[in-house]
Amino acid sequence: SNTTVAIPRSTYSTVHKLPHLKKLYISDCDCLENIFTFSTLESLKKLEKLTIRNCDAMKVIVREEVQEDTTTLSKKVVFTSLKSIKLDGLPNLTGFFLGMNVDFEWPLLEYVQIEDCPQMTVFTSGQSTTPRLKYINTGLGQHNLECGLNFHQTPSTSFDCISSNPTISEGRTWSFDNLIQCNLGYSHEDTKIFPSSELQKLEQLETIHAQDCEMVEEVFEVASEVTNNESQTGVEIPKLREVDLKELRSL
């Protein structure tokens, strides 16, 4: 008689080591859902710059691995050399790493750019320690973020469109409330830079740089209902010290 023998599938998986990787740039890889497995992180001792752009299917940067013995999982990850992280144009990215019970340390991290990532809710599920990180950079500019990478976001339809959709800024980690530098270029497609509903929130704004924004008609929008009101009150922007506007042809 015929006998069928079931051969168990091996649970062994290859752990990729990248001990000499210093810079990683990935762009326009629309089928890629993640970059690293969690077990790879330990080898990234020399990684200094990480840039991921325009990858439509990207869900997380680091994928969680399922292991039977969860006690062997590291409770802390240290990126000893990483100085710069740029995440741009990732419409399905929900976070950097969303595995449980893992904290991250980024002792040299100084620059973080998160732009056009509308589904991102947290950076990591555990705590992140970033002693050198002072700001978060978005499509609007530079934000003073006291919580560092320990933010909690509400998904939006346009992560980058704080200025074009003022309701999005309510309750968001990066908003007009903590905007320090406004830096806009040709990609800004709105007719205004600061909506009238947000003007009272610009207490930390120090500089405005805008160049080649062909659609911009107003820097500070005047609300239509008070345009003809002689008794309208002024809005103070106490820390604004520099305004640089170039080639705003519709202004």
Q: Provide the residue-wise pLDDT of the chain in tens; the chain has 251 residues.
A: 455 544 444 444 555 789 999 999 999 999 999 999 999 999 999 999 999 999 999 999 999 887 644 454 568 999 999 999 999 999 999 999 998 779 999 999 999 999 999 998 889 988 999 999 989 999 889 998 777 888 877 665 333 444 333 333 333 567 888 999 999 988 788 899 999 888 999 999 999 999 998 899 999 988 766 555 555 567 889 999 999 999 999 98
Q: 237 with 208: CB under 8 angstroms?
A: no
pTM: 0.79
Strand locations in the chain (E): 23-27, 36-37, 49-53, 62-63, 76-78, 84-88, 103-105, 111-115, 128-129, 135-137, 141-144, 179-184, 192-194, 207-211, 218-220, 242-246
- C-alpha–C-alpha distance, residues 208 and 246, integer Å: 11
pLDDT tens digits, one per residue of 218-240: 999 887 665 555 555 678 899 99
